[in-house]
Each structure stands twice: as structure tokens, then as C-alpha cells.
């Protein structure tokens, strides 16, 4: 049996999905409403899970008195009530889909001392969630609870590019 | 392979205190959870059993049977109890979410006779949970079927 500790955090941020390598039309076709020029926002829910030995002295994998300030400092302060495209340096060159957001959050949290980051899962809305288990795990896992009615599947204009997803 | 999940809730009191630490160290490590009068939570427990559906019943495990196991092994033991004093399986342990989840895993595993216990997730609040998974299971309790989504 393996054991992990899960913790959820909340932040609100705005973003715009747009890749400057592509034309206005391609961006609009691929990203739809998410390409709206002034950006839009979400109440994101961040779920993190850590593994490691349960310390006999504390009964804990990670002490929330240490974990909460770490996540607050590394992620929440950087993302909450920000425009991700412009106010988080990593997203000046990477499209801030929630896939990429999950990967960036993982990078920021992986050095938490005392416990091993197992996974990062971000709910962009109550219907979309994105999960990243680290580069070693190979791939994203992407869960969508229901298909939005009438949503079109847009073929990827540049198949060789990493999939950028929706949001 | 199919996973089935049943959810139950129980309410209990606890506090965190390690008698080998000083008063000041206990407060430093555990903060307000160290309040000796205790405090309480509405715990939410999700239990997942994995297996192949039986050809005759179409079930991995009768959810009614799982409900009875959860009632007997967990709810009857822990609901409206003080976890520091009234649950012998937790004696000598600090009743953190991690330790309670591990105790629940050990209580349930031998009782599941159809399928096998795959995951125990115990929420202390909507934003804090501990999760036990079977060795070899995917983190988060989802496996290859999630990859196909």
C-alpha cells in the first residue's frame, strides 16, 4: 500500500490562448472564444499530491504549516489575480493553456523539501481538469467530464507542434 | 478491470500531540491542531474496489455489501468518537489524515473478498485528503482508462 497527501488551493487569474506563430484566423479557429483579444478569467482549483514516509513523530507526510506557505509563495502569489500571459514570465513564450499551467506548477513545486511531489491537477472549470505527473511519467492526463454541446473538433494546423489544448 | 467506489461520511474529534515533544515544540509543529480540548471534522471517505464483474450478477462487488463493511469497520468505530481516545487501532499514533487513512486501509483490506481494495481516500475537509492505493495502482486512482480520454 502506498500513501499520499492531497491538498487543494484556489486562485483566480486571466489568460488568453494565442500563438503568435499563427495567423489571426488560425488562432481564432483553433482557440475559439479563448482567443478573445482582451483575455478572460477562471477560478482555478489546484490539487497537489505528495508522497513519502509518514513521520512517526508527526504522523504526517508533509506538515501543512510548511506546505501551505511554500505553495502560497511559489504559486498562489505568482498567479492569483494576475494576467498569466504577461505577469508570469514563463507564459510570455508558452501559451497558458491549463496543460502548460499544470506543467509550470509542477516545476515550481517539485523541490518542496521533505516530501515528493507526485502529481499536479488543475481544474480550470468544474468541467475541465488537467493532470501532470512529472516529465518522468511520460504524458499529460486530461480529464473532461462532459463535451460542451455543439463544440467543434478543430484539426491541429501544425501537427508537429505540441498540442496546446483548449481553455 | 472495473473500479467501483462507495462514499461514506463520519464525524469525529481529534487533536495532535506528541508526548515526546515539549509543550512549545508541540505548538510549533502542530499549531492550533494541538489544542488539547480537541476539535472535529466531517470526514468523507471514498473507498474503491477493483475487479472483474461477476458473469452472473454483473457486479464487481455488491455495493450493499461494501456499504455494510464500511458501516461496520469504519463508521461504527469512528463516527461521533474522539479519535485520540476511542479508537484502539489508532492508539499510540497521532490521528492525522494519513494515519487514519492507513488504519482504514488495514481494516478494510481483509474484509474485501470479491475484487480487491484499490484505493482509500479520506477527506478531512474539501481541501485536504490522504489517499492509500494498492501497490502498482496509478496515482490518483485512475489508470489506463484515463489515458484514453
Q: Do A58 and B30 touch (CB under 8 A)?
A: yes
Residue by residue, DSSP assigns B59-123 as -SS-HHHHHHHHIIIIIHHHTTEETTTS-GGGTTS---HHHHHHHHHHHHGGG--SSEEEEEEEE
| Residue A30 clears pLDDT 90, i.e. is over it | yes
Q: Is residue A9 part of a domain?
A: yes
Instruction: Give chain A's mean pLDDT.
Output: 87
- What residues have CB less than 8 Å from B75, skipping those under 6 apart? B8, B10
Where do runs of H (alpha helix) occur along B16-70?
23-30, 63-70
Counts of helices then strands in chain A (DSSP H, E): 5, 6
pLDDT at A31: 96
Distance between CA atoms of residues B21 and B69, nearest Å = 37
pLDDT at A165 > cutoff 90: no
- How far is CA A20 from each of CA A16, A24, A98, rounded to the nearest angstrom? 12, 8, 18
In a domain, A30, yes or no: yes
- What is the Cα A118 distance to its own chain's centre? 14
The 3 state secondary structure assigned to A21-84 is CCCHHHHHHHHHHHHCCCCEEEEEEEEEEEECCCECCCCECCCHHHHHHHHHHHHHHHHCCEEH
pLDDT on residue A142? 53
Read off the pLDDT band of A137 (50, 70, 90): confident
Tens digit of pLDDT for each residue in A62-121?
A: 999 999 999 999 999 999 999 999 999 999 999 999 999 999 999 999 999 989 999 999
Kindly state whether residue A161 falls inside one of the protein's structural domains: no
Contacts of A94 (CB under 8 A, 6+ apart): A100, A104
Res. A143 pLDDT band, cuts 50 70 90: low
**Mean pLDDT in residue range A153-158:** 45
**Domains held by chain A: number:** 1
Domain membership of residue A160 (yes or no) is no
Q: Which of B102, B131, B146 sits opposite A141 (nearest CB)?
A: B146
Distance CA A8, CA A52 (A): 18
Q: How far is CA A115 from CA A4, A27, A122, B140, B141, in A?
A: 10, 40, 20, 17, 20
Q: Identify the domain containing residue A131 by its residue range.
A: 4-153
- CA angle at residue A48 from B91 to A148, to 5 degrees? 130
Q: Is position A18 within any domain?
A: yes
Give the model's pLDDT for residue A114. Answer: 84
Q: Within 13 Å and on the Cβ side, how many CA atoms surround B139?
A: 22
Q: Cα separation of B111 and A89, whole Å?
A: 52
How far does B76 lie from chain A, in Å, by closest CA?
A: 23
Q: What ipTM was reported for this prediction?
A: 0.82
In a domain, A166, yes or no: no
Residues A49, B96: C-beta atoms closer than 8 Å: no
Q: How many other CB atoms sit within 10 Å of the CB of residue A102?
A: 24
B98 closest CB neighbour out of A3, A121, A142: A3
Chain B residues whose CB is inside 8 A of the A102 CB are none
The pLDDT value recorded for residue B135 is 86
Whether residue A82 is contained in a domain is answered as yes
Q: What residues in B contact A2, CB-CB < 8 Å?
A: 132-135, 137
Asked if residue A163 belongs to a domain, the reply is no
CATH number at residue A26: 3.30.479.10
Res B139: pLDDT: 54
Q: Using alpha carbons, select from B38, B44, B4, B12 the residue that is nearest to residue B127.
A: B44
Buried b (16+ CB within 10 A) or exposed e, B77-103: bbeebebbeebebbeebbbbbbbbbbb
Separation CA B113–CA A4 (nearest Å): 25
Q: How far apart are CA A124 and CA A121, in angstroms?
A: 10
- Predicted confidence at residue B102, as pLDDT, reads 98
pLDDT tens, residue order, chain B (149 aa):
999 999 999 999 999 999 999 999 999 999 999 999 999 999 999 999 999 999 998 999 999 999 999 999 999 999 999 999 999 999 999 999 999 999 999 999 999 999 999 999 999 999 999 999 998 665 554 333 333 32
Amino acid at each position: 500500500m502506498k500513501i499520499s497527501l492531497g491538498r487543494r488551493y484556489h486562485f483566480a487569474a486571466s489568460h488568453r490562448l494565442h500563438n503568435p506563430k499563427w495567423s489571426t484566423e488560425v488562432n481564432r479557429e483553433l482557440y475559439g472564444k479563448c482567443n478573445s483579444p482582451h483575455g478572460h478569467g477562471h477560478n482555478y482549483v489546484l490539487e497537489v499530491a505528495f508522497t513519502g514516509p509518514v513521520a512517526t513523530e508527526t504522523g504526517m507526510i508533509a506538515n501543512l504549516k510548511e506546505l501551505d506557505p511554500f505553495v502560497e509563495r511559489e504559486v498562489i502569489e505568482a498567479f492569483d489575480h494576475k494576467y498569466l500571459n504577461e505577469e508570469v514570465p514563463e507564459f510570455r513564450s508558452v501559451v497558458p493553456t491549463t496543460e502548460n499551467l499544470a506543467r509550470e506548477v509542477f516545476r515550481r513545486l517539485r523541490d518542496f523539501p521533505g516530501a515528493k511531489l507526485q502529481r499536479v491537477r488543475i481544474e480550470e472549470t468544474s468541467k475541465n481538469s488537467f493532470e501532470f505527473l512529472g516529465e518522468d511519467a511520460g504524458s499529460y492526463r486530461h480529464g473532461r467530464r462532459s463535451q460542451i454541446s455543439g463544440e467543434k473538433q478543430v484539426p491541429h494546423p501544425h501537427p508537429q507542434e505540441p498540442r496546446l489544448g483548449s481553455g | 478491470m472495473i473500479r467501483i467506489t462507495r462514499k461514506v461520511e463520519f464525524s469525529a474529534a481529534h487533536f495532535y500531540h506528541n508526548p515526546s515533544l515539549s509543550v512549545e515544540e508541540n505548538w510549533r509543529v502542530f499549531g492550533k491542531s494541538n489544542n488539547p480540548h480537541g476539535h472535529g471534522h466531517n470526514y468523507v471517505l471514498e473507498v474503491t474496489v477493483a475487479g472483474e464483474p461477476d458473469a452472473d450478477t454483473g457486479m464487481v462487488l455488491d455495493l450493499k455489501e461494501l456499504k455494510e463493511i464500511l458501516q461496520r469497520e469504519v463508521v461504527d468505530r469512528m463516527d461521533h468518537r474522539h479519535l485520540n481516545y476511542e479508537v484502539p487501532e489508532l492508539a499510540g499514533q497521532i490521528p492525522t489524515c494519513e494515519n487514519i487513512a492507513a488504519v482504514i486501509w488495514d481494516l478494510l483490506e481483509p474484509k474485501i473478498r470479491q475484487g480487491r481494495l484499490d484505493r482509500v481516500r479520506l477527506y478531512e475537509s474539501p481541501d485536504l485528503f490522504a489517499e492509500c492505493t494498492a501497490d502498482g495502482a496509478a496515482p490518483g486512482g485512475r489508470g489506463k482508462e484515463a489515458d484514453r480520454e
